[in-house]
Amino acid sequence: MTLIEFKKNLTVVILCGGKGLRLRPLTNQLPKPLIKINDKSILENIISYFLSYNIKNIIIATGYKNNLINKFVKKKFKKNKIKLIYTGYNSDIIKRLEKTSEYSKNYLLACYGDTMVDIDLDKYIKFYLKKS
């Protein structure tokens, strides 16, 4: 399988349902993924990262303050077909993945909505393809 084929069959699930208890009182009004770092929210950075690698199948699993996340994504990324799925207020990670899996393609990459990375995703995928 080529890198391009893999990406077409990859779904990224961004987990954005947590309550952000450790960042209170900051997260009383705003979910953690919408906290800004250098004028861009964490979630905006994460979505932009995957889009820069031409990943088109993105699902955001929401929970706490899902209305704010939905509004933000629909406004900021209206040209992209990002699925927003409410996975429950108290759902754990496994439940969130179960609720989004029916919308995913052959391969699934899950990441947290409050963690930014700066790795070469193409290199990461090529390594996976070589080893599998």
State the total domains in the chain: 1
pLDDT at 22 over 80: no
19: Cβ–Cβ under 8 A, 6 or more apart, which residues?
Answer: 27, 63, 64
* Span 42-51, average pLDDT: 98
pLDDT score of 104? 86
pLDDT at 9 over 80: yes
SS3 128: helix
pLDDT score of 121? 98
* Tens-digit pLDDT profile for residues 90-124: 888 899 999 999 888 899 999 999 999 999 999 99
Cis amide bond preceding 31, omega within 30 = no
CATH of the domain at 14: 3.90.550.10
Range of the domain at 80: 3-131
